[in-house]
């Protein structure tokens, strides 16, 4: 094999992996958010879990992405460990679609497919059509890369040393280890199986050796989920253990069957003249059969994962991100989903602090002051960490629609943090009130109660707004913001009148004016949040617990 062939091989591999990536990204961008919602909601029983996992993975062309989403949902408590096992089984079935696509002999028209995809991208006026163009282009580039790799590896047929290495894979242990290592490196079983198919088509590995490499590739793909679970809670880690157990048990079942029974010969007979099809079919048989065998024992798989990783699931600490997992390896839809949930979580904490802050002043009781301070520190932490995560995502190529959502969420996060600041300001006035023995009149407290009810009603409206009532909620909060401004103006004058009538002290008048200023600022930030939701078409309903 000459240097030029080696460069051609690397170029072909680059095109293949890039095509796979673009196709997966296009599919995930076109349908990722909808599929994520389906995955989140329709996993109540084993059959639905398996079906949903298979369909989503078949569409987004990545079992890794589905598994990472599942790990994220388990980590955030949106999905139980018992539900995750079925989704993982389904994901292993869905991922076989890629191998079947690669088995299609369309290399000769691959340049035409890529050309059509590029034309769609260049002429697309809508984001959805642009995503379709990416899918088509990625598919074409993938097959062009396969052809390049096949041509580059042709000279290796004459290399006895290389043939000797590839022949050694007929030893089950060597084949499994090779498949595991290669898939763990490139972190995509779909891509590694496609490369295995190319090697087989080039005559460099026989089907008898390829089956064992294939089994190893199924185990190696678990590395992505393992990375995703780093820093996650114990149940999320157990999800990756279930994924690893599924593929390992399947391999332990199939290796003896292929060694002592003519399983490989039977599968090969279905497509005798298409070794790429034989590999794709074996992949499909492996995952469907393993699912059928293990589905009745899903509960026991869960129990085994708990025994492997014993102990209680870690309790949420004050200074942790509840939904965002920075180690997640997945698409933009997953990242946006995590940010959505985290910002919604942050909004609920801010709402609690606003409520407690008003109670502190109105009830003249500082018992909640420590809790309010702790929550405010947590809000500051969340603001910093969400911003850091958004910065990390923005470093990659993000579609325009998603970039707009991420930017809007970034701004909303800042507004929530400022609401927390003003809530703390309100609560801390109780310190001055107690130190200087300042008394707020019953009329002043009644006025604060009116403002409290108005603010909390607006906050609650933001947390439950959905796409059907976003405009109405915007109008409601706009009216509320105007009403609060008018009330604050009126209540300031009322306090001045009370001071002039000697019903309250000068200090009480100053404190009350400061309270009204913070309340106005909270109302302003709420207005910013709902306007951001309207601009970015974002809602928090079903995004918070």
pTM comes to 0.62
Question: What pLDDT does 542 receive?
Answer: 43
Write down the pLDDT at residue 316: 46
Q: Do 401 and 496 sit in the same domain of this protein?
A: yes
First to last CA, the chain: 60
3-state secondary structure of 323: coil
Question: Which tens digit of pLDDT belongs to each residue from 516-542?
Answer: 999 999 999 999 988 888 887 777 654
Within a 10 A sphere around the Cβ of 397, how many other Cβ atoms?
A: 8
In a domain, 543, yes or no: no
Question: In terms of domains, do 193 and 57 share one?
Answer: yes
Alpha carbons 123 and 121: distance in angstroms, whole number: 6
Tell me, what's the pLDDT at 168? Answer: 76
Q: What is the pLDDT of residue 105?
A: 65
Question: How many structural domains comprise the chain?
Answer: 2
Measure Cα distances from 238 to 185, 267, 335, 497 in Å. Answer: 22, 34, 21, 65
Residue 64 and residue 136 in one domain: yes
Q: What share of the chain is helix, strand, coil (3-state, %, to 5)?
A: 80, 0, 20
* 327, part of any domain: no
Looking at the fold, whether 42 and 128 belong to one and the same domain comes out as yes
The predicted structure's pLDDT at residue 315: 47
- Distance set, CA 497 to CA 451, 490, 505, 517 (Å): 19, 11, 11, 18
User: What whole-number distance in Å separates Cα of residue 295 and Cα of residue 84?
Assistant: 12
Let me know: does 290 contact 92? Beta carbons within 8 Å: yes
For residue 23, give the nearest of 146, 108, 151 by alpha carbon: 146
Q: What pLDDT sits at residue 69? A: 72
- How far, in Å, CA of 311 to CA of 333, rounded? 32
> Locate tokens 């002290």: which residue?
505
User: How does pLDDT run across 423-470, given as a tens digit for each residue?
Assistant: 999 999 999 998 888 888 999 999 999 999 999 988 888 877 666 777
Structure confidence at residue 541 (pLDDT): 57
Q: How far out from the chain centre does Cα 262 lie?
A: 42
Task: Flag residues of the chain having pLDDT under 50.
Answer: 315-317, 329, 542-545
Do 372 and 228 lie in a common domain? Answer: no
Q: Which domain holds residue 428?
A: 332-536
User: Is residue 321 a part of any domain in this protein?
Assistant: no
Same domain, 405 and 476: yes
| Residue 33 belongs to some domain of the structure | yes
Last residue of a domain, which of 250, 275, 308? Answer: 308
Nearest Cα to Cα of residue 27 among 84, 101, 107: 101
Question: In 3D, which of 158, 160, 149 has the Cα closest to residue 201?
Answer: 149
Point out the domain boundary residue: 273, 308, 343: 308
- The predicted pLDDT at position 28 comes to 63
- Answer yes or no: do 290 and 202 share one domain: yes
In this structure, the answer to whether residues 286 and 347 fall within a common structural domain is no
Residues 296 and 343 in one domain: no
Same domain for 290 and 401: no
CA–CA separation, 213 and 218 (whole Å): 9
In CATH, what number is assigned to the domain containing residue 345? Answer: 1.20.58.220
Q: Is 276 within the bounds of a domain?
A: yes
Residue 494 buriedness (CB in 10 A; 0-12 / 13-18 / 19+) = middle
Separation CA 26–CA 135 (nearest Å)? 5
> How many C-beta atoms lie closer than 10 Å to residue 26's C-beta?
25
Q: What is the pLDDT of residue 34?
A: 61
Alpha carbon distance 105, 72 (integer Å): 37
Compute the residue count for the chain. Answer: 545
Last residue of a domain, one of 241, 275, 308: 308
Q: Are residues 61 and 156 in the same domain?
A: yes
What CA–CA distance (Å, rounded) separates 381 from 230?
A: 20
Residue 313 counted as domain residue: no
CA-CA-CA-CA torsion sign (460, 232, 220, 249):
negative
Q: Please indicate, yes or no, if residue 545 is contained in any of the structural domains.
A: no
Q: Has residue 214 been placed in a domain?
A: yes
Co-location of 128 and 235 in the same domain? yes
Per-residue model confidence (pLDDT) at position 31? 58
311 CB burial (10 A radius; 0-12, 13-18, 19+)? exposed
């Amino acid at each position: 094999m000459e240097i030029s062939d080696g460069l051609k091989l690397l170029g072909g591999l680059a095109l293949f992996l890039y095509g796979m990536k673009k196709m997966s990204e296009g599919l995930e961008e076109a349908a990722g958010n909808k599929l994520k919602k389906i995955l989140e909601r329709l996993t109540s029983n084993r059959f639905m879990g398996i079906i949903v996992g298979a369909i989503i993975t078949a569409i987004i062309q990545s079992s890794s992405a589905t598994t990472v989403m599942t790990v994220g949902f388990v980590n955030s408590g949106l999905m139980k460990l018992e539900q995750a096992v079925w989704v993982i089984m389904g994901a292993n079935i869905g991922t076989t679609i890629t191998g079947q696509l690669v088995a299609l002999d369309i290399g000769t028209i691959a340049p035409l497919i890529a050309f059509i995809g590029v034309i769609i991208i260049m002429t697309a006026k809508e984001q959805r059509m642009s995503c379709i163009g990416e899918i088509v282009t990625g598919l074409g580039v993938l097959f062009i890369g396969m052809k390049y790799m096949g041509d580059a590896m042709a000279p290796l047929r004459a290399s006895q040393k290389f043939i000797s290495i590839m022949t050694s894979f007929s030893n089950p242990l060597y084949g499994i280890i090779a498949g595991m290592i290669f898939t763990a490196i490139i972190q995509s079983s779909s891509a590694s199986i496609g490369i295995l198919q190319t090697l087989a088509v080039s005559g460099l590995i026989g089907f008898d050796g390829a089956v064992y490499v294939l089994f190893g590739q199924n185990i190696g793909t678990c590395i992505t989920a393992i990375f995703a679970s780093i820093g996650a809670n114990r149940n999320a880690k157990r999800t990756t253990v279930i994924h690893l157990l599924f593929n390992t048990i399947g391999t332990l079942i199939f290796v003896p069957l292929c060694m002592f029974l003519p399983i490989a010969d039977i599968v090969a007979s279905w497509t005798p003249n298409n070794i790429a099809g034989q590999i794709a079919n074996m992949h499909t048989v492996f995952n469907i059969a393993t699912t059928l065998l293990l589905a009745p024992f899903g509960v026991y798989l869960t129990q085994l994962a708990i025994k492997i990783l014993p102990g209680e699931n870690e309790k949420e600490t004050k200074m942790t991100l509840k939904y965002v997992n920075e180690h997640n390896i997945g698409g933009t839809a997953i990242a946006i989903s995590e940010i959505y949930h985290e910002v919604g979580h942050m909004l609920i904490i801010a709402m609690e602090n606003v409520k407690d802050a008003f109670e502190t002043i109105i009830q003249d009781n500082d018992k909640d002051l420590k809790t309010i301070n702790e929550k405010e520190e947590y809000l500051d932490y969340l603001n910093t960490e969400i911003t850091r995560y958004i910065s990390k995502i923005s470093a990659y190529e993000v579609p325009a629609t998603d970039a707009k959502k991420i930017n809007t969420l970034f701004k909303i996060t800042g507004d929530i943090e400022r609401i927390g600041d003003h809530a703390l300001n309100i609560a801390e006035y109780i310190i001055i009130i107690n130190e200087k023995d300042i008394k707020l009149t019953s009329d002043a407290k009644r006025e604060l109660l009116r403002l409290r009810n108005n603010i909390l009603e607006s906050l609650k409206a933001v947390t439950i707004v959905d796409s059907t009532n976003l405009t109405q909620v915007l109008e409601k909060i706009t009216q509320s913001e105007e009403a609060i401004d008018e009330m604050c103006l009126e209540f300031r004058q009322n306090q001045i009148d009370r001071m002039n009538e000697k019903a309250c002290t000068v200090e009480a008048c100053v404190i009350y004016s400061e309270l009204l200023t913070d309340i106005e600022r909270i109302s302003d930030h709420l207005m910013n949040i709902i306007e951001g939701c309207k601009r970015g078409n974002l809602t928090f309903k079903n995004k918070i617990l």
